[in-house]
Structure 1
Amino acid sequence: MKFFCRVIIFFLIFLGLYSGFVYFLSPQKIPKQSWWQHNRVRVESFLTEGKNSKYVIAGSSMSDRMLPKANSGWFNLSLVGEGALTGLSILKNSDTSPKFVLIEVNQLSVKENVKFSGENTDPFFVFTRRNFPVLRSEKQPLNYAVGFVIQFTDRFFTTEAKPAPKEEKEVLEISKRLKQEHLQEVKRWYGAAVEQKKLNDRMVYLSSVLKELEAKGVRPIFFEMPMHPEILISAKETRTRETVQKNFPPSHYLWFIDNKDIYEDSDALHLAYPEADRFLSKLKEYAESLQ
């Protein structure tokens, strides 16, 4: 009995000391160990710091690179490896009611991850993350330790010297060739249209979620992330876009599609980070003009 009492006392002391450490010290860069953890951290941030956001983005990894500034009233709930339906489910089951939810159309063919959304909106989970920050995934000891190592190496080790012009030219040529080869591979992936029945099922589910959100005063805005022009006109993207517009027509719902500018992508699917920021600026300007 004494042994268990000592273990409990030791645990409480350790938890108290670590909580103080987390409160007063934090590395600037805290890495995620997996995409699952990346998504978990994103949801925990939404349920805590982001719970009062007026604008919430729900999307996939294609929207994930849009990074709203802190305290801007915007929160990006996009989840890597998932589609907007999982983020919408989390929003629906939370106690948060933003003014607008911005829904990425590109990956609406991806089914809601019921297990993930259920685990991350469980009342006990939400209560502990809001009241005990030390329990949040980003605050775990391994993440913090790696974060301090990264911070140390960034501070004391210089970056590699810039390659000679000839070498740099060769690297750029290789990179360009690999990017073109990857584009051809992505075109093959997106060459087949999504099964219409699957899309119809997603639209039925989306309609039910939007009814609940709209009843809470949340207005939906549909938007399409820019991709490589050849991918945007692919069978997969075309059928998805047309199906969503048929069920949620621009005559009855708010839509934002930027057809004017061309954006630089990193892999045919995802925008380079500066370009994602440029698109976010336009999306913000449109959404905030609706007030």
Structure 2
Amino acid sequence: MTDGQNVETLGTVADEAQEAAGDAFELNGENMSVDEMMAAFQALQDQNAQLKKDNCKAVRRYRREEELKPYQAELIRMQQYLESTGSKMVILFEGRDAAGKGGTIRRVTRYMNEKHYRVVALGKPTEDQRTQWFFQKYVSQLPRGGEVVLFDRSWYNRAMVEPVFGFCSDQEYRNFMRGVTGFEKDLVRQGTILIKLYFSVTKEEQNRRFERRKNDPLRQWKLSEVDVQAQERWDDFTNVKYEMLKKTHSTHAPWTMIRSNDKHQARLNVMKVILNSVPYERLNPELDFVPDPEVVVSGSRELETMEAQRLRSGKFQG
């Protein structure tokens, strides 16, 4: 169905609903008082306004999904390149709660070949894992040749969530911060394409998304105990974010910041970042592969911005 056909169909649905409501009003009008008729007329207007609003949302959502499709096709072509060359790719999705990581992962992988990608979202470590080398459980999930592995949160839990909530000791935190750059350097040196994405959302937008989760039965499962405290510990997360960027942003494994208040733009630009990391032959060279600088920010630029904020106001802003 084309975009025009989709809009026309939605308009027809709205017209039919309005006509049916009008017919009902006409049939019952002779039995109504003036006040009842006015109330019924107002209800009809409200219903029509809501239908138009819903239709606009549906059309907007449809258009956004259509805008992603050419890039999703490019991701399939990229997969074919990785498979033919035996290359390995690891993509880390990090950031604050409700920043849009999961939705982006779903769009990135929607049309990809399921045989050649995996999404990894590890839970709490088992008792055995607690006694092992910290990176061991992640190493076991690394890709084989021709495969993409997307980590929905990764080893950087130890740099962000764990120290804020006291899930690791200060010594464990320091050991991680000293060792992670060497671990990533080995990955890259041995041929793994490593992409580190940090999703950055404002405090106000995060709160709006949490409220939506509380009130939407389809999203309530997303709301965890950690989420509930995310707003209260906003500054704590900002501080550990700064330390993480300062100590783990490197030339061999740089951070890429994704401004994700606008979920659609975040998803679109993440696809561009991923596609630009591989020298595959473009399916459609006419596509715009240049990331939006308002959405995609280098880790070094983010550090500069945060340091400037601290100089001006005495604290980081986000």
Question: Where on the TM-score scale, by shorter chain, does this alignment land: which range?
Answer: under 0.3
Which of 1 and 2 has greater Rg?
2
TM-score, length-scaled by structure 1: 0.23
TM-score, length-scaled by structure 2: 0.22
